[in-house]
Structure formats: C-alpha cells, structure tokens
Amino acid sequence: MNNSKSILKVALPLLLGVVLVWYSLSQISVSKLVQYFKDADYFWIILGVILGILSHTSRAYRWLYMAEPLGYRPKFINSFMAVYSAYLINFTIPRAGEIARASILTSYEDIPFDKGFGTIVAERVADTIMLLLIVGIALVLEFEFIYDFFAKKFNPTTLVIGGVAFLLICIALYLFISKSTSKFAQKVKGFVQGLIEGAFSIFKMKRKWAFIFHTIFIWAMYLSMFYVTTLALPELNNISLAAVLIGFILASFSIAATNGGIGSFPEAIVIAFTLFSMPEDPSRAFGWIMWSTQTLVIIILGGLSLVYLPIYNRKKTSI
C-alpha cells in the first residue's frame, strides 16, 4: 500500500504535467511559440535570470543563519550548490529536493540529517509566510478589482451569502480540527502549529534581522524577476501591477502542482493575465519563456553543482 502511494505521488504530478504541456501546445502552434522566443528582447530575459540567481544565492546565504545556532559553520559554496541541486532534483521527484539538500549538508558539512532537514522546513515556513503576505497585499491593493470581478460573475446577494457561508465553514473546521483526534485533523493542526512556531523561532535567532532581510530580498527578487521578464514581449509592456501580482501568485502555486511547474506554469500565467484582458498568446508565450529560461538555469547550475560537490569536498571525503 505504501509503495502504491509513493508511486502515485511521483506519477500523478508527472502525468498532470504531461497533460498540461499537451493542452498548452494545443492552444498555440509550436511555430508561433518559437517565433515569440525569437522576437523576445533577451536583455530583459537575461536580467530576469540574473535576478533569479541572486534570489537563490540569497537563499543559500540565509540558510547559514539557520545553521549557526546549531553550532555549525557550513561553507557558503556548499550551501549554494545544495540549493541548486535540490531545485534540480525536484524536477524528478516532487519535494525530494529538500531531503536531498539535507543529505548533501550531512555528507559535506557533518550536519545531522534531522537537524539539517529541520532548518530547511523552518525556511519553508518563512517562505510560506512571505507568499501569504504577497497574497494579502494583492487582496488589499486590488480589492475593488477582485470585488468587481466576482460581482460580474455572481449576484451581490449571492456573494454575501457565500462569504457568510465560507466564514461559518471556517469556524466549523476550526472547531472540528481543534477537538478532533483524526489523522487529517492532527496533520492540519501540526502544520498550523509548525507555521506559528517557525515564525516565532525566527525572532529568537541571534541574527534574526539579517535572516528577515534575506527573506524579503529573496521574494523581492522573485517578483522583480517575474516583472522584468514580461518586458521581453512588447504585447505585455503595459501590464498592470495587479496582473503581475496575481500572475506571480498563481505561478508560485503552479510549481507545487507538477514537477517544477512543467505545463502548469504557462497555463497559470494565462489564467491570471487574461483576467486583466491581456492577450492569450503572448501570455502563454511569456509563461513558456519564463519557465524555460529559469528551468535551463536550474538544469545547468544544478547539474554542475551535483558534479562539483564531491570534487570541491574531495579532501574531506578522502579522509
């Protein structure tokens, strides 16, 4: 049974990715997509790549602050290569990159696996909080647009009833989860508790402000990378802040849906951008350009990291 679950966890995201790739390419001809790639302004694409590398570099450096309270002083280069190796491995098996990253740090920095993995989970808590913060900012800045959008789709009375029903469901779920002993409730409770504990643990760190700075910098680079890449296509040059924020949020969630966002990333962009009346073909092309260039960087740097890690640490491994 466990083997079947493991196979499904690997196979389903991959299958979904293949289906979405097929669907995406059925909506735009390959020749047309190739033409968008040819006509794109690669200055902005390269700038986006640089911003992406800066964000991952900052992520690698930020992790050093997590290791310090545990009594370890890992080398930055090992942390950097572990980050890119993890991203590359996530393309094969979803979420396996975090385990691989902790294993790399165990092998080359003598950090116990459980401690290394714990710090990576704590990092994810910080990143989840940042993503939720961006979602909150998008809701506040674009409340009128979001309200008008749903008002056009639904009757205002229906919206009010739906809002009240949603609130009542949330209260009911909270009461159920807080009192229930079921496995599902325990998992949800554990996740929320971990989120809260992880958030507060950041403020107990010796260099908490440096950690917070890097966390903000990482996500600022992500958003900047996303925005500047839109400038590569003239059809998207007048894109609004709202479209950028919603597109970024949906694209971020799409990466968890399939292996590295394959297939799901471009379609998430199309859904977001067309809400703001952006043309569908350039939106889909942007999604593929953005995903392809960032994936290419991960393949190159991740592959080089996996090869160079044992070479860089050969003195240690030979002892």
Residues 6 or more apart in contact with residue 39 via CB below 8 angstroms: 233
Q: Report if pTM > 0.85.
A: no
102-123 tens-digit pLDDT? 888 888 888 888 777 777 878 8
Give residue 290's pLDDT band: very low, low, confident or very high (50, 70, 90): very high
CA distance 224 to 156: 36
* pLDDT of amino acid 193: 65
Three-state helix/strand/coil letters over 251-301: HHHHHHHCHHHCCHHHHHHHHHHHHCCCCHHHHHHHHHHHHHHHHHHHHHH
pLDDT band, residue 157 (cuts 50/70/90): low
* Residue 173 in tokens: 């779920």
Looking at residue 112, its amino acid is P
Of the two residues 271 and 97, the one the predictor is more confident about is 271
Residue 196 — very low, low, confident or very high, per pLDDT cuts 50/70/90? Answer: low
Whole-number average pLDDT of the chain: 83
Coil, strand or helix at 71: coil
Our measurement of the distance from residue 183's CA atom to the centroid of its chain's CA atoms, rounded to an integer in Å, reads: 27
Neighbours of 217 (CB within 10 A): 17
Q: What is the domain partition of the chain in residue ranges?
A: 39-150+206-318
Q: Which residues of 90-129 are buried (b: 16+ CB within 10 A; e: fewer)?
A: bbebbebbbbbbbbbbbbbbebeeebbbebbebbebbbee
The Cα 51–Cα 221 span in angstroms is 6
Per-residue confidence at 286, pLDDT binned at 50, 70, 90? Answer: very high
H or E stretch including 181? Answer: none
In one-letter notation, the amino acid at residue 146 is I
